[in-house]
Amino acid sequence: MKHIIEGAVGIVLAIALHAFLGQLSAQLLVVFNAFSWVVLYFGLTRHEVFGAIMGTVCGLLQDSFSLGVFGVGGLTKTLLGFGAGYISRKINVTPVSRSFVLALVMAALELLLWKSLALFLFGEGFATAGGLIFLQPLFTALAVTAVFQVNRRREARRS
């Protein structure tokens, strides 16, 4: 039950951050993908099944906020959450460098898959928003790594 409440809080925070960034500038939504942050964090901490569930929910929510095709974000974020959770069970992602590299690779793969599916299925062009979209995996990895490390240290102090 605790994990479900944490997941719901993460989703609400992602929605609030998405709305706030959208009010400031639409270009910020290209660089900062709060839904990917939530999916990666829960994939790293709660592993593949919970990561996949969070990916499905966050991806479909992100699709509902966009004008794009409904479902592509849900599929890619589901794979993102499952992949991050699966890999985090196989290797130790506690060190900062490993968690950063894993988050960076997973975010880049998710972006590539999302753009590829949109291009393949619907013929949408590869819009890069002036190259800003290529910063998204970097900022995603930085945000997820920072939150992951802060929470890991906080839990270590508690025990």
Of 109, 118, 123, 90, the C-alpha closest to 40 is 109
User: What pLDDT does 12 receive?
Assistant: 95
8 A C-beta contact, residue 43 and residue 68: no
Structurally, the chain folds into a number of domains equal to 1
User: What pLDDT does 9 receive?
Assistant: 93
Asked if the structure places residue 63 within a domain, the reply is yes
User: What pLDDT does 30 receive?
Assistant: 86
User: What pLDDT does 126 receive?
Assistant: 67
8 A C-beta contact, residue 123 and residue 153: no
User: What pLDDT does 124 receive?
Assistant: 66
Question: Measuring CA to CA, how many Å separate 24 from each of 27, 29, 109?
Answer: 9, 9, 27
Asked if the structure places residue 159 within a domain, the reply is no
User: What pLDDT does 133 receive?
Assistant: 87
CATH number at residue 58: 1.10.1760
Asked if the structure places residue 88 within a domain, the reply is yes
Asked if the structure places residue 127 within a domain, the reply is yes
Asked if the structure places residue 15 within a domain, the reply is yes
For each of the chain's 159 residues, which pLDDT tens digit applies?
Answer: 788 999 999 999 999 999 999 899 888 888 999 999 999 999 999 989 999 999 999 999 998 888 767 788 889 999 999 999 999 999 998 899 999 999 999 999 999 998 888 788 777 666 777 788 899 999 999 999 999 999 988 988 887
Asked if the structure places residue 157 within a domain, the reply is no
The residue segments making up the domain with residue 93 are 2-152
Asked if the structure places residue 158 within a domain, the reply is no
The burial class, CB within 10 Å (0-12 / 13-18 / 19+), for 113 is middle
